[in-house]
Amino acid sequence: MIKALLGDYPVTHAFRSGAIRSPRLEFDFADVKLPQQAFKRVVRELEFDFAELALVTYLLAKAHGKPYRLLPAVVTARFQHPYLVCLAKNRFKPKDLEGKRIGQRSYSVTTAAWIRGMLAEEGVDLSAIRWVTFEDPHVAEFRDPPNVERAPSGKEMIAMLLSGEIEAAIAGEIPKDERIVPVFGDPAPWKQKHRAIQVNHMVVVRREMPSGISDEIYDLLSQSRKAAGNPEMNPFGLEENRRNLEVAIDYVYRQGLIPKHYAVDDLFG
């Protein structure tokens, strides 16, 4: 029995629901509402043999010696541009955020890492921002930089934005409130410049898992993706994801979250 963590998305639904099965492998899927609620169980308790995992969480886990390797399967991706928000009355540009307080769920979450990388490319000094967090990192060994502080207990990020306690926020979902607007505009120029998409979650397996089993898991995921119409924002394959991973590694390394600039192939061994 393979202990597994996998969200139910269009690209995984056929596999997750049992419509696509293996004749020889059985899976014990964790009963969680959202897979990210169990990411600490993946990288702290090492509970799963096969798991969905946020890309930056995986990179930090690798840096701290956790026994997982990546499979080249993207289960969630999105351009993060609409998720950095501020009040409409302020209409901040990226450079305006220096010296401001920005809320984010945790410093090392993947959405926040993508957005900080985008800000840095706009010439923003990330060390000149006060980052306000609401949760611990998934990887226990990771330490926040000195310009990170924890929000007071019981506080809620969007409420703090509306009250003026923070000037911007990296939201998990796009706020449906006319008082709140995105800082970034259309992601098309970023996509054209980088020739990449912004990956959120991929899939990992235990490093010691025999390749015959991990290959079969990848095949099941691929069949499930095919059943969903092979969505463009869920690329599968090493070469199909090489550029996406190169950009992500570069962003994460430049922010000091990992100690070395991994080669893409390093993530799969």
* pLDDT digit string, tens, across residues 177-187: 999 999 999 99
* pLDDT digit string, tens, across residues 30-69: 999 999 999 999 999 999 999 999 999 999 999 999 999 9
* pLDDT digit string, tens, across residues 78-135: 999 999 999 999 999 999 999 999 999 999 999 999 999 999 999 999 999 999 999 9
Q: What is the mean pLDDT of residues 154-182?
A: 96
Total-model pTM: 0.96
From the number of C-beta atoms within 10 Å of its C-beta (0-12, 13-18, 19+), residue 52 rates as buried
Round to whole Å and give the CA distance between 130 and 104: 11
State the pLDDT confidence band at 269, using cuts at 50, 70 and 90: confident
Does the pLDDT at position 265 exceed 90? Answer: yes
- For the chain, what is the mean pLDDT? 97
Strand order, beta sheet including 2-5 = 27-29, 2-5, 50-54, 199-206, 68-77
* pLDDT digit string, tens, across residues 9-22: 999 999 999 999 99
Percent of the chain with pLDDT over 90: 100
Asked if 224 contacts 52 with a C-beta cutoff of 8 angstroms, the reply is no
Asked if 234 contacts 36 with a C-beta cutoff of 8 angstroms, the reply is no
3-state secondary structure of 250: helix
Residue 210: the pLDDT is 97
* pLDDT digit string, tens, across residues 186-244: 999 999 999 999 999 999 999 999 999 999 999 999 999 999 999 999 999 999 999 99
Residue 153: the pLDDT is 94
Distances (CA, A) of 38 to 33, 109, 172, 268: 9, 14, 16, 22
